[in-house]
Structure 1
Amino acid sequence: MAMLLLMLLLPIFLVAVSGTAAVSCPASCKCYWVVDSLYANCSRRGLSVYPSFDNVPLEHLDLSGNRFEEFPIQYADMDSLLYLDLSNNKIDNLAANALIGFTSLRTLLLANNSIVLWSEISPNEAFKYAPSLKRLSLSGNRLGSFASADSKMQLNSQSLTELDLSAAQISVVGGDILVNKLPNLQRLSLANNQLTQLLRLPSKSLRELDLSNCGLQRLSSTFFEALPNLEVLNISHNTALQFGSMDEDLIVAYELLKLDASYCNLDQIDLSGMPVLVEVRLRGNLLRLVDEHTFANNTMLELVDLSNNVVRLIGNEAFSKLKRLKHLNLAYNEIAYLDRNLIRGNDILLELNLSRNIIQKLTKIVSNSVRLINMSWCEISSIENTALSSLSAIQNLDLSNNLISDIPNLMHSETLQHLNLANCRLSTIRNGTFSGFPELANLHLNGNRLTNPIPPAYFRANKFLDQIWLGDNPWICECHNPMFVEFYDYLTAKPPKLKDRIHLRCASPAVFYGQLWDYACMSVWSASARSSSGEKVWSAIMLTILALGLLALMLGCFQKMMRQRKKRNNRRELNENHEELRRIRDLNDRMMREESSTTLQQTNEISVLPSYEDALLMPKLERPAKSMLDLTATERKRKQLRRSHTHPDGDHSDGEVEQQLDTHQRFRSVEMLSNRDKERRAQYGPHRRTGYMEYNTQSGSRRFSIEDSRFPAARLKQQNLQSAEQIGNFQSYENSPYTKRKPKIAEIPPFKRVNMMAESVEFLTDPEYEDLGVKSGSPFAKRKPKSPPSIQVSAQVYTVGKGQLDPAVEDYFSSAQKKKAASSSTIASDFQELTEPDITSLPDENRSNDSTSNSKLSMETGKRKKRKNSASRRVSGNFSAAAAGDSSSSSCEDVGRNAQVHKPMRETLF
């Protein structure tokens, strides 16, 4: 709350500081801002000359306590001036025109000056020029009396609402001279004057009248009749006043709300003529009895103060009719007995003060609303167990300065929060003394006779107890007692509960007499702590060192482990990098070898291939070439090749070996061409550049793979090797100049059809096949094909001799070759003519023995070749010579006509 208030006032202070710096305040004054009003404090400076405030928007000006002798008419031009204090100066008069120009002035204080006559202030003229004046103080001057009938002596002001004439040595106030020309006067103070005679003060506007300490002896009913709107009347300290006695006229004030008749020595009073009275203060009188008739007609009372009287007896129904009573003060009386139903009917009573009475026993009191009961200094020595059982809303109970030596265990209150048992005679506290007060938060036990520490367990039920007073008790400071130490720790543990620590002193032993607990036992506790904690200190030091060493060791081990782990990770990463580089290098080498070998082979093959025009001029082959190797290899290499394909045991003859080698080479050529065709039709992915060729061992085919190929082949020379992209993009041999020739395949039976990749020259130039679309303009068409002799179809298509092979290239332009071309040979051309009466008919049994033997020999050779080259036949999908012979024989018997057998194409040109 304080912080919030400070935050709210901080802008005000800042404005005040800024305003002080902005205005030119005289050196003898102090100027400051309050909210938005400028204050100038020039009080008690011993000034005799008024300070100058030119162009300063003052609202409050304090010039009290100085030596000014005249009224400051120079401030008349200050339109903003609202408050002017000239009290405690030496001003002795007020001119008639002194207030001209003070149109905004609301408060004028001229108290304690040197005005000796009422006429010196020009009451009839001076205050008419201050139309906003509300408050005027002339207290402390010597004004005399208001008994003259002269109109010039009457105070004239239409705006004045408050007039203070206290301590003005006024002795007579009569008639309407004082208040006749004050139509708006509401508050009038005549206190501390010796009014020997007080007549009527007729005023319909007056609401508050202070006549305290005026020496009044009597107030008649006519006095109150002249003040019909009077609400507050203070007639206290008029010791000789007889007010509302039975033998006098009844005082009637129907609008009076507050009456203060304290210290008037009244022994009886009748307030029945004041029905709307709310507060009545009868303190310090001589009232002895309060019964149901005392406040019978005052049902609106909220506060009744009957303290400092001699009341001994209070009737059971004395306050039963006061349904609005909130505060009842019966202190400093002589009440010895208190009825339990005294305040039972007061449903909104909050405070009951019974202090300084002679009540010896606290008995049961019934109330559903009272929250505070003060019964201090009542000489109470005993308390009933059920004293608080009927106080359902009690929160504060003050039983201090009584003779209580024991508190019963059965006392119970669910709402009690503050319990004051200070300065009683309590010597012991039991474990159930405060267990019946679960809401107890504030406990006063100071000034009793407690000597032994209270176990903290006795306060176990008081969970909200946070303030305890235990000073001024004769404590026995047994510093070695564990209970004493525990009790001290309970009181001083944060937040500390002990609130009078400076009064907590020891009474014994004698060495600690009068000393505070802290000083008395601290030396003992410190010595004990030092003596008992010597080993503990060293143990703690050693344990600390050990813990630090262990921590350092663990830290070192952890760091070492992290370093080793980092090294392992680095080594593993390095190995992985090396492995990756090795794999990439192997991959690149392999791709380079494959691409280079493939490129070189293709380059060599392409380089040795003749152009179309060269091919036309080339001589005809004298013998069929099995492959390009057969054309290019030397005789020695060919022999080595034959020897490698024959069995080392030498079971076969040279003819058989030559025949097997011829067939093997032929099938290898067909297989290679078929594999090339597969490669041409294969589908390749988009990353051909980084792939490599993979061989299939079963099918003998190759496919382009991109697995494990992260980098392209390195160190490939463009001038010698083709790129992997060119190799991968190779689709077929259609771009070869030889593919422009479109040979036609002869119609032969399916079982005699072989995997042919091109046509032979004889087939293209044979005039018998002109109907198949052979161009007549071809240079080969001009040649007359050789007419091979008619031979019987046999299983053996190629006949290979045991001698040396004929030259692979035939010279077409030599005469010897021309003669030789006329001879019949089974391997002279790629085509042979089979002369049979019917090609569909199979050979009969009447054939010559010679052909039969040849047929059997061919079948036997085919079987051997089948056994030797079964794997090659499965891969290539071609027929063996024996099977071809059988098929030819069977078909010849069925067909019965001549058929051209097209031999497998050799790799002569490709």
Structure 2
Amino acid sequence: MLRLSSVWIILISWNLLAFARSLDDDDKTIGDLCFLCRCNLDKTDIDCSRRGLTDIPNGLGLQVTKLNISNNEFTKFPESLSRLHNLVNLDISSNQLKGLPDNALYNLTALVVLNLSRNYFDSWLNLNPNDVLLPATHLKILDLSYNKFQTMGNLANQELLISPSLETLILDHCEINSIHGRSPLSGLINIRVLKLNFNPLLRIQNLISSSLRSLFVSNCELTTLNHNELMFLPSLTHLKMSNNYRLELASSANNLFSQSLKYIDISYCNILQPNLKGFPSLRKAILNHNMVRYLESNAFANNTELEYLDLSNNNIASLRYDTFRGLKMLKHLDLSWNEIAVIPEDSLLEMPSLTQLKLSRNYLSRVGHLRSMSVTILDMSSCELNTIGKDSLEGLQSIVELDLSQNLLSYIPDSISSNTLKYLNLNYNRISSINNLTFFMLNRLTSLSVVGNRFTMIWRRSFFDSNPYLERLDLSDNMWRCDCSDENMRDFYDFVTLEPNKKEESFNLICNSPANVNTQTWLEACYFTWNPTEKTANADTLIWFIVVMIIGLSLCIILVSGIRSSMKRRLAAIQAERERQVEEARDRLRQMRIRAEQEALCNTPDPRDLIAPPSYDEALSMPKLNVSCHSLNETGSGKTRRKRGRRKTKSSGDLLEETDRNGDAPVYDDLELTETQEEDRQRRRRRRNRRYGSHEIAELDQSPGARRRRMSEYIVENDDSVIVEVQAQLERPLRPRNRRYSIDDNDVRESDF
């Protein structure tokens, strides 16, 4: 039993040790992975995009839920991804994939988003569409955009994508030019969204799906749609066909029909008539930037649930009183940027729920007697309005915000009335005056803006006695005339700019006249007029300020001059110290140079010692001596040396000639081989020049050797106690030479020279 227990303990410890080592290895590999890629704290989100990878890096843990390996160089779908069973989001876009194996998504049961866009797919068969999506049982979004499938027409069974869970299929920029034959959505039983934007599609045929809710075919080349195209999409609620520049809708009411459609966008097309009668459930319709020229009576009678209608940027010239009949749920109507000149007074009553009406950028000349029980926001800016009636707002019983900016209004009638108006925008008109009755009937007015008008006279506080809720006044960019002596100006200034009921910033109130205060604020122009006591006090303050400034400047000048003088003295002392140091350095250099010259004079070798001995050929050409060669090293007397002088060594040819001429042995004038050599050797004499072969050293008078010789002569002539015998030594060893020996050892050899 003890043995069994010990064995079990050993096995358990071994397994624990192996598990710990595996954890250490995993931590190490994960650390290396996070050094290469970006990881979050818990290592569940890995971003390895733009790393030039061709395979999955090591270290991916099983806890990874989001992996981005886009913008790399993958040519095959990585097989190692199959072990990441917790992966939810996989982005492998912008690579070089040309196909997918049928088991590419094996074991990826948790995968929800798969991005395969911007690869090299050019055929549906390369995807193995029948099998590749089946293992991913929770896949919801598949992005195949920016590939080159080119067609979705007449797809065979093996070319159909099959996935029971896929809800969104993105095929933008795939060069698809047709959809016909068998429906490509028949294998996607739960498809919700299909995007085919930016494809050269001409027609859509036989697109069948009972679950499709959103269809996007914008920026294509659609020209027309059959009346039954949307009938095979019974769940379709969202249709966007914008930017199809040749798309037209026929005038027939049965041209296009969908019982379920709630949102349609056919902007930037070639629509001449809205023709939305085939969509009874429609909630929002966008038809801007088309070619609609007129609206028929009861044009929207069948759209009883329509809430948002955008007809802006068309060519609509007129409206009929029954054009919008039947739009009982409409809340937003945009008719801006058209050519409407007149709006029937009762046309808005057909829309009892309308709250926002945009009529800007039309050709309306006057604010008519519009009637509406529900409109709260009315935009009539930039419409060339020049007249506004006294009772123009009485028919708009719920109006809250009115925009009349950028028009040609020159005045506002007195007692214009509205019990609900809060925001009135009169910017950039031609209004020049108001009075205390202008806004008398606007008792709910909260904000008034008159920027960029032609007001010159300062308003009065009494103009707004009947507007207790006024909180904002925009008065900038007007031609105010500032009469500072007028008490009304200061009173109105306080009313507008002071707390607690501040209505305008003081820097927005700019004077335009008289000329001496032009471009100044009201406060800058009138401060001393409104505060005369401070003006007199300011004169004394100015005088004292000038005196203090003069004294301060004087002190500053004195201080600066003192600092400059002290700096000059300090600079002079520094300069003198520097010159002294330079002079000392020069003296030291001069002494060192003299000492070096003396040492060089004493240590300089005699140039004669540097002459190499004669070569073998030169030695052969030299004459033989009758006496011993030891006499050549002896020093002759100065007298003898002076008598002899210098002359060239005669060559062998000259010696022969002289021998022939004298009939005797050669004569050597430069060597005195006499019996007096022993006597002369005992006397003090100068050292003679040494000659080697045909070479002779000619010394200059100013050379170190000449100077040293003269010094030695002087010493020899004045001192008889010491005789120095100097022998020449070569600085480098002589190269070995073949010596020629005579028969008799006592004879003088040529090598002795």
Does the TM-score normalized on the shorter chain lie above 0.5?
yes
Matched, 1:245 2:219: no
Which of these residues, 216, 222, 237, is aligned with residue 216 of structure 1? 222
Which residue of structure 2 aligns with residue 179 of structure 1?
A: 185
Looking at structure 2, the residues matched to 436 and 39 of structure 1 have their Cα atoms a distance apart, in angstroms, of: 66
Structure 2 alignment gaps of length 5 or more? 1-29, 543-753
2:295 aligned partner: 290
Paired residue secondary structure (1:414)? coil
- Matched AA of 1:373: L
> Is the 8 Å Cα contact of residues 496 and 504 (structure 2) preserved in structure 1?
no
Q: Structure 1 residues 514, 124: closer, same or farther in 2, change over 3 A? A: farther
Select the residue among 311, 324, 328 that pairs with 1:323.
328
Residue matched to 1:531 = 535
Contact 2:287 2:312 in 1 (8 A): yes
| 2:126 paired with 1:123 | no
In 2, Cα distance between equivalents of 1:51 and 1:492: 68
The equivalent of 1:543 in structure 2 is none
Cα distance, 1:527–1:314 mapped onto 2, change above 3 Å? same
After TM superposition, list the pairs within 5 Å mapping 1:89-100 onto structure 2: 91-100=97-106
Partner of 1:398: 403
Q: 1:174 to 1:381 in 2, by over 3 A?
A: same
2:34 to 26, 35, 60: 26
What is the CA–CA distance in structure 1 between the aligned matches of 2:500 and 2:89, rounded to whole Å? 50
Q: Tell me the distance in 2 between the aligned counterparts of 1:181 and 1:351.
A: 45
The whole-number CA distance in structure 2 between the counterparts of 1:512 and 1:125 is 84
Cα 1:149–1:446, aligned 2, differ >3 Å: closer, same or farther?
Answer: same
Alignment of 1:552-567 (within 5 A): none
Write the distance in 2 (CA, Å) between the matches of 1:283 and 1:514.
44
Q: Which runs of 5+ in 1 are unaligned?
A: 1-22, 539-910
Tell me the distance in 2 between the aligned counterparts of 1:488 and 1:47. Answer: 69
In structure 2, how many angstroms separate the alpha carbons of the residues matched to 1:516 and 1:28?
Answer: 62
Q: Matched residues in 2 for 1:500 and 1:115: separation?
A: 63
Alignment check: 8 A CA contact 1:172 1:196 kept: yes
Of residues 51-60 and 139-148 in structure 1, the stretch that sits farther from structure 2 once superposed is 51-60
2:348 matched to 1:343? yes
Tell me the CA shift for residue 163 of structure 1. Answer: 0.9
Structure-1 separation of matches of 2:49 and 2:491 = 59
Partner of residue 604, structure 1: none
**Alpha carbons 1:38, 1:60 under 8 Å: kept:** no
SS at match of 1:344: helix
1:726 aligns to what?
none
Q: What does residue 369 of structure 2 align with? A: 364
Distance 1:143 1:486, change over 3 A: farther
Deviations 1:508-561 (A, max 9, x none): 44455555667x5488679967424459999xxxxxxxxxxxxxxxxxxxxxxx
Supply the distance in 1 between the matched residues of 2:234 and 2:472 (Cα, whole angstroms).
Answer: 53
1:377 aligns with 2:382: yes
Q: Which amino acid aligns with 1:450?
A: F
Equivalent of 2:145 in 139, 143, 146: 139
| Aligned pair partner of 1:150 in 156, 160, 181 | 156
Q: Distance in 1 between matches of 2:414 and 2:164?
A: 70
Cα distance in 2 for partners of 1:111, 1:177 equals 22
For residues 305 and 160 of structure 1, what CA distance do their matches in structure 2 show?
34
The residue that corresponds to 2:597 in the other structure is none
Structure with the bigger RCO (C-alpha within 8 Å, sep 6+) is 1
Q: Secondary structure at the match of 1:373?
A: strand
Q: Return the alpha-carbon distance in structure 2 between the equivalents of residues 484 and 74 of structure 1.
A: 83
CA deviation map 1:596-643 (0-9, x unaligned): xxxxxxxxxxxxxxxxxxxxxxxxxxxxxxxxxxxxxxxxxxxxxxxx
Identity %: 33
Q: 1-side partners of 2:36 and 2:530: how far apart?
A: 60
The secondary structure found in structure 1 opposite 2:349 is coil
Structure 2 residue 310 is the aligned partner of structure 1 residue 302: no
Q: Do the aligned partners of 2:192 and 2:213 also contact (CA within 8 Å) in 1?
A: yes
Measured after TM superposition, the shift of residue 376 of structure 1 is 0.8
State how far apart, in whole Å, the 2-side matches of 1:105 and 1:500 are: 59
Residue 82 (str. 1) matches residue 82 (str. 2)? no
The partner residue of 2:175 within 161, 169, 188 is: 169
Partner Cα separation in structure 2 for residue 182 and residue 298 of structure 1: 32
Partner SS, residue 380 of structure 1? coil
Given candidates 111, 115, 123, the residue that maps to 1:109 is 115
CA distance in 1, matches of 2:289, 2:453: 32
SS at structure 1 position matched to 2:244: coil
Distance 1:491 1:68 in 2: 69
Judge conservation of contact 1:320–1:343 (CA < 8 Å) in 2.
no
What's the CA shift string for 1:33-76, capped at 9, x where partnerless? 9xxx9984748765647677745845445555666666555454
Output the CA distance in 2 between the equivalents of 1:500 and 1:43: 54
Residue of structure 2 aligned with 1:159, choices 156, 162, 165: 165
Q: Normalising to structure 2: TM-score of the pair?
A: 0.62
Q: CA deviation at 1:414?
A: 1.5
SS of the residue aligned with 1:313? coil
- Contact 1:29-1:40 within 8 A present in 2 as well: no
**Structure 1, residues 263-305: CA drift from partner, whole Å, max 9, x if none?**
2222224333222222222212222222333112222222222
Q: Give the direction of change, closer, same or farther, for the CA distance of 1:84–1:507 in structure 2 (3 Å limit).
A: farther
Which secondary structure state, in structure 2, belongs to the residue aligned with residue 209 of structure 1?
strand
Deviations 1:434-491 (A, max 9, x none): 2322222222211222233322332232222222322332334556654444434333
Following TM superposition, by how much is the alpha carbon of 1:231 offset from its aligned partner in structure 2, in angstroms?
2.0
Shift of 1:351: 0.9
Mapped partners of 1:99, 1:516: distance in 2: 73
- In structure 1, the partner of 2:728 is none
CA distance in 1, matches of 2:76, 2:217: 31
Cα distance in 2 between the residues matched to 1:54 and 1:295: 59
Alignment match of 1:232 (pick from 232, 238, 242): 238
One-letter code aligned to 1:281: I
Q: Say if 2:454 is the partner of 1:454.
A: no
Secondary structure of the structure 1 residue equivalent to 2:456? coil
Distance in 1 between residues matched to 2:131 and 2:377, nearest whole Å: 56
CA distance in structure 2 between the aligned counterparts of 1:40 and 1:480, rounded to whole angstroms: 73
Summarize deviations over 1:832-856 as a string: whole Å, max 9, x none: xxxxxxxxxxxxxxxxxxxxxxxxx
Aligned to 1:274: 279
- Cα RMSD for the two superposed structures: 3.4
Preserved CA contact (<8 Å) 1:123 1:152: yes
Counting only pairs closer than 5 Å after superposition, residues 476-491 of structure 1 correspond to structure 2 as 476-478=481-483, 482-491=487-496
**Number of residue pairs aligned between Structure 1 and Structure 2:** 511
In structure 1, what residue type is equivalent to 2:278? G
Contact 2:150 2:174 in 1 (8 A): yes
SS at match of 2:158: helix
What's the CA shift for 1:184?
0.9
Deviation at 1:233, TM superposition (A): 1.7
CA distance in 2, matches of 1:66, 1:458: 72
- Asked if the contact 2:150/2:175 (under 8 Å) is kept, the reply is yes
Q: Distance in 2 between matches of 1:330 and 1:463?
A: 35
- Closer/same/farther in 2, CA of residues 399 and 297 from structure 1, 3 Å limit: same
The aligned runs of 1:512-661 (5 Å cut-off) are: 513-514=518-519, 520-521=524-525, 530-533=534-537
Aligned partner of 1:264 among 259, 269, 275: 269
**Cα distance per residue 1:349-388 (max 9 Å; x no partner):** 1111111111111021111111111111111111111111
Alignment map for 1:790-805 (pairs within 5 Å):
none
The amino acid across from 2:452 in the alignment is: G
Deviation of the 1:131 alpha carbon: 0.9
Cα displacement (A) at 1:498: 5.1
Equivalent position amino acid for 1:475 in 2:
W
1:486-885 → structure 2 map (5 Å cutoff): 486-494=491-499, 497=502, 505-510=510-515, 513-514=518-519, 520-521=524-525, 530-533=534-537
- Aligned counterparts, 1:59-78, within 5 A: 59-62=65-68, 71=77, 74-78=80-84
